[in-house]
């Protein structure tokens, strides 16, 4: 009997990899000009947030990118070794859960903190943010759910049942 392909884990790998590439791009844009000018952002948008400029959000986004890159590498390695090694260590699945929760938390936090400032922007700027939030909100939610898929749990050594 041929082993089933772990499509949900392939999807998780692709989703985390895409989120990671975008996180690195956003991190560079935010940290290279903490006043937001590199991304055509205004620091006035941060008025009701814990941030004075975009430097710390850029650093946090970079850290999330590093976690995503490590997870992408781990997922690729686990998929290649699937069925050719002993049982994986459970820390791998917990690491995947932490990274996916971090990505989800970033999106939820960004939406919660930026909702009011974005509502006052021009129509084209609002469209950018709303489109971004829908896309990456969906991706972050999908990635978080995919971490719990049976194949991801099996391949990464997560809890079964």
pLDDT tens readout for residues 77-130? 888 876 666 556 789 999 999 999 999 999 999 999 999 999 999 999 999 999
Q: Which two tokens stand for residue 29?
A: 């844009």
**How far apart, in Å, are the Cα atoms of 155 and each of 7, 79, 85, 86, 104?**
12, 7, 10, 11, 22
**Distant-in-sequence contacts of 105-113, Cβ < 8 A, 24+ apart:** 106/60, 106/61, 106/64, 106/140, 107/133, 107/136, 107/137, 107/140, 108/137, 111/137, 113/48, 113/49
Residues 56 and 34: their CA atoms lie apart, in Å, by 8
pTM of the entire predicted model: 0.90
pLDDT at 36 exceeding the cut of 60: yes
């Amino acid at each position: 009997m041929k082993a089933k392909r772990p499509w949900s884990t392939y999807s998780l790998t692709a989703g985390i990899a895409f989120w990671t590439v975008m996180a690195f791009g956003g991190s560079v844009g935010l940290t290279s000009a903490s006043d937001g000018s590199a991304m055509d952002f205004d620091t006035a948008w941060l008025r009701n947030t814990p941030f004075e400029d975009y430097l710390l959000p850029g650093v946090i986004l970079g850290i999330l990118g590093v976690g995503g890159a490590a997870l992408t590498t781990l997922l690729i390695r686990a998929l290649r070794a699937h069925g050719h090694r002993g049982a994986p260590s459970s820390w791998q699945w917990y690491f995947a859960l932490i990274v996916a929760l971090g990505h989800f938390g970033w999106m939820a936090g960004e939406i919660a903190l930026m909702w009011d400032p974005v509502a006052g922007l021009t129509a084209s700027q609002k469209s950018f943010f709303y489109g971004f939030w829908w896309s990456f909100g969906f991706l972050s939610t999908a990635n978080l759910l995919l971490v719990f898929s049976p194949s991801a749990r099996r391949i990464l050594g997560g809890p079964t049942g």
